Amino acid sequence: MARVNIKDIAQKAGVSKTAVSFAFNNPSRLSESTAQQILTIAEEMGYSPDPVARSMSTGHTGTIGLLLPQPLPEIVRNPFFPEFVEGIGEVCTHSGLSLMLVSPLKGSMRRAIVNAAVDGFLTLGLEEYKATMVVLRQRGVPFVTVDSDPIEGVPAINVDDAGGACQAMHHVLAIGHRQIAILAIRSGKQGHYQEYVGTLGARMHGYLQALQQFGLSINGRSVRLLECTSTENGGMEGFQALWKLRRHPTAIVAMSDIIAIGVIKAATAAGVQVPQDLSVVGFDDITLASLIHPALTTVAQPSREKGQIAASQLVKLIESSLEPVHQVLPTRLIERASVCPPKKEEN
């Protein structure tokens, strides 16, 4: 059976093909009765517009893209991600837009950007991809960066990563911990934290600021740094590596909640009591942070709000010109049961 097209609809409705196009794409150009008549006939005949042809005629796809730095299976395992996407989704629903997740296509960010049929992009944590920003500008669609170092002339939405990290580290130091391990999100820098940028750089800056207030630094003796993947398994592997050392930390400060949760699970399996033997602090305040036992002390960031604001900025860019805004959202320390003073004064 041949597919119904707009010519068939126009003939049955007794109108031009242009009128049929207006009924679907710009009904204000027709009288309400004419537009409704065309849409009713189209429904009866089983017609639906070809989205590709429709986007070619309107110049819009009705879709925004969320550009991701990692393969989808890896990034969706982090519970932070659904909360962030929830905020974006609320804006898309209100604005009548669809959301496309755009991850590297056959390992290429450039190929992914060029092939994505979207009206604009949100980028998440692309600080390591300077060339990606060039491709985005060449593509010629608006974009908003999230969790990246701000770029001149581009809207940027971040949270106070440095301030939150400083609070987390200050908390464990203030109650007496001096044998501390930082579990950083794997960066590709092999632990050269001086080269960290974006979110990692900001959080590390906050940790260092608090350490300096207590006359400490990352020295490999009392304060150690270890990188791991931002996954539960990454946190478990990080704990296991630290517990092979001769001197164990009394506190682990993790750059993400999912890493911290992996630490708690591995510690419990090894017979290490949290927080009596080991205090653990995270970052994000995902839903699981309050559900795990013991409940996780962490830094809360407004993940859903961040998604909402970023998506709203992008919609405004798509619909009209907008003065670029660099916005920083607040963070706060949430004290729960996974932290207590060390058992005894450290030497």
Which of 8-17, 260-269, 338-347 is least confident?
A: 338-347
Higher per-residue pLDDT: 62 or 309: 309
**Which residue in this structure is represented by tokens 């009206």?**
119
Query: How far from each other are the two terminal CA atoms of the chain, in whole angstroms?
Result: 84
Whole-angstrom Cα Rg for the chain:
25
Q: What is the CATH number of domain 63-159+302-332?
A: 3.40.50.2300
Residue 347 — very low, low, confident or very high, per pLDDT cuts 50/70/90? very low
48 burial (CB, 10 Å; 0-12 / 13-18 / 19+) is: exposed
Report pLDDT digits (tens) over 190-234.
889 999 988 999 999 999 999 999 999 998 789 999 999 999 999
**Which residue in this structure is represented by tokens 């805004």?**
325
Q: What is the average pLDDT score of the chain?
A: 88
Q: What is the CATH number of domain 161-301?
A: 3.40.50.2300
Quick one: pLDDT at residue 21? 76
Does residue 86 have a pLDDT over 60? yes
Selection from 149, 143, 114 nearest residue 129 by Cα: 149
> SS3 breakdown of the chain: % helix, strand, coil, rounded to 5?
45, 15, 40
The yes or no reply on domain 6-58 and CATH 1.10.260.40 is yes
Give the chain's length.
347
Q: Which amino acid is at 73?
A: P
* CATH 3.40.50.2300 boundaries in the chain: 63-159+302-332, 161-301
Q: What is the DSSP letter of 219?
A: -
Report pLDDT digits (tens) over 240-274.
999 999 899 999 999 999 999 999 999 999 999 99
Which of 98-112, 134-148, 253-267 is least confident?
A: 98-112
* CA torsion, ordered 208, 209, 214, 218, to nearest 10 deg: 10
* CATH 1.10.260.40 boundaries in the chain: 6-58
Give CA–CA dist 249/225, Å, rounded.
11
The rounded percent of the chain whose pLDDT value lies above 90 is 57
Quick one: pLDDT at residue 130? 64
Burial 8-39 (b: 16+ CB within 10 A, else e): bbbeebebeeebbbbbbeeeeebeeebbebbb
